[in-house]
Chains A and B, each alone.
Chain A
Amino acid sequence: AQSVTQLDSHVSVSEGTPVLLRCNYSSSYSPSLFWYVQHPNKGLQLLLKYTSAATLVKGINGFEAEFKKSETSFHLTKPSAHMSDAAEYFCVVSGNNDMRFGAGTRLTVKP
């Protein structure tokens, strides 16, 4: 069995400041982990994925995430937020053909 918890339902940052979206997971397998982004009235878009290679994963639009097995975490970061980053972000754990989505974190970026 597996599950994923996104620790913040809403994060608000100022433009140009760092972004941290937190995700903890639980899995009985060696999981694959993903982050997706959803802009208003759009489908989800893959930001990045971890599949047991390098623990620091770089994604699109300057985002990256670090897989920490000891902490069962896969937090998403970006050094400097842009207005276009405002969206909903989903953390996903997948293993043994079972894929679980987190509840989502809404990122607001203030000018």
Chain B
Amino acid sequence: DSGVTQTPKHLITATGQRVTLRCSPRSGDLSVYWYQQSLDQGLQFLIQYYNGEERAKGNILERFSAQQFPDLHSELNLSSLELGDSALYFCASSIGAGNSPLHFGNGTRLTVT
């Protein structure tokens, strides 16, 4: 058990809708990362937060947004969903902002129909 909790485990929704994915980092970790994994794109880094502040941005679409709250949990908001957004979304956490190992949750599987 990595100590990182993601909810929900599965999400099925329709195109055009909006969803929120939630992540609770491992106790003591200040950084939260979001990744998208799909068969055609592989593992794509979306965004990183460190202690409530955005730290790094990857291949995150403008329709997607995230935030990290004072209690360090994070939410990833996906809006105007398209079929191509169907993927596994992973949250990971680490102690520091830089080169610390990541601890991954088990992911949220999003299916857009």
Do these two chains interact? yes
Q: Are A46 and B99 in contact (CB under 8 A)?
A: no
Docked pose: A34 CA to B102 CA in angstroms: 10
Interface of A is mostly: strand
Write the chain B residue with the least CB distance to A43.
Answer: B104
A3 at interface by CB-CB < 8 Å: no
Give 1 or 0 for each of A1-29: 1 = CB within 8 Å of chain B CB: 00000000000000000000000000000
Among B91-113, those with CB < 8 Å from A are 92, 97-99, 101-107, 109
B83 at interface by CB-CB < 8 Å: no
Docked pose: A49 CA to B107 CA in angstroms: 22
Q: Are A44 and B99 in contact (CB under 8 A)?
A: no
Q: Are B90 and A94 in contact (CB under 8 A)?
A: no
- Say yes or no: A34-B101 contact (C-beta < 8 A), given A97-B56, A101-B45, A103-B42: yes
Interface centre among B45, B92, B99 (most CB of A within 10 A): B99
Q: Are A46 and B55 in contact (CB under 8 A)?
A: no
Give 1 or 0 for each of B59-102: 1 = CB within 8 Å of chain A CB: 00000000000000000000000000000001010000111011
Write the chain B residue with the least CB distance to A32.
Answer: B99
Write the chain A residue with the least CB distance to B9.
Answer: A41
B2 at interface by CB-CB < 8 Å: yes
Q: How many residues of A contact B (CB 8 A)?
A: 21
Docked pose: A39 CA to B9 CA in angstroms: 16
Write the chain A residue with the least CB distance to B105.
Answer: A43
A69 at interface by CB-CB < 8 Å: no
- Say yes or no: A104-B102 contact (C-beta < 8 A), given A43-B90, A97-B56: no
Give 1 or 0 for each of A89-108: 1 = CB within 8 Å of chain B CB: 01000111111010110000
Q: Which residues of A contact B (CB under 8 A)?
A: 32, 34, 36, 41-46, 49, 51, 90, 94-99, 101, 103-104
Q: Which residues of B contact A (CB under 8 A)?
A: 2, 4, 42-43, 45, 55-56, 90, 92, 97-99, 101-107, 109
A-B contact pairs, 13 of them (CB 8 A): A41-B106, A43-B4, A43-B90, A43-B105, A44-B104, A45-B2, A45-B104, A46-B101, A46-B103, A51-B99, A90-B43, A94-B98, A94-B99
